Amino acid sequence: MRTRLNGAMQAIHEGDWKRAEQIAREHLQEAPDDPDWLTPLAVALPMQRRWEETLKVTEHALERRVR
């Protein structure tokens, strides 16, 4: 799991927002409430100007972190 997270973070660092999103979404299919994976998704979406999705993912990530 950590290797995939590193891959998502590397994609973000390289500005490859679609790849970061794809990696995060693949993991989230297995663990939809994992806040560590909601974060890279919340970074990748606004860089693609996907504002409504960004808001939903960010709210969901914050809810998971608060618990």
- In this prediction, residue 67 carries a pLDDT of 58
Q: Tell which phi-psi region holds residue 15, choosing left (phi > 0), alpha (psi between -120 and 50) or beta.
A: left
**Tokens 């790849």 sit on residue:** 19
CA distance 39 to 58: 7
Domain boundaries of the chain, sorted by first residue = 2-66
CA distance 22 to 16: 10
- In this prediction, residue 53 carries a pLDDT of 94
- In this prediction, residue 31 carries a pLDDT of 87
Alpha-helical (H) ranges within 1-67 are 2-14, 17-30, 35-47, 51-66
Query: Is the predicted pLDDT of residue 4 greater than 90, yes or no?
Result: no
- In this prediction, residue 64 carries a pLDDT of 77
Of 3.90.1750.10, 1.25.40.10, 3.30.428.10, 2.60.120.620, the CATH number of 2-66 is 1.25.40.10
- In this prediction, residue 2 carries a pLDDT of 74
Q: What is the pLDDT of residues 14-64, one digit of tens each?
A: 999 999 999 999 999 998 878 788 888 989 999 999 999 999 988 888 887
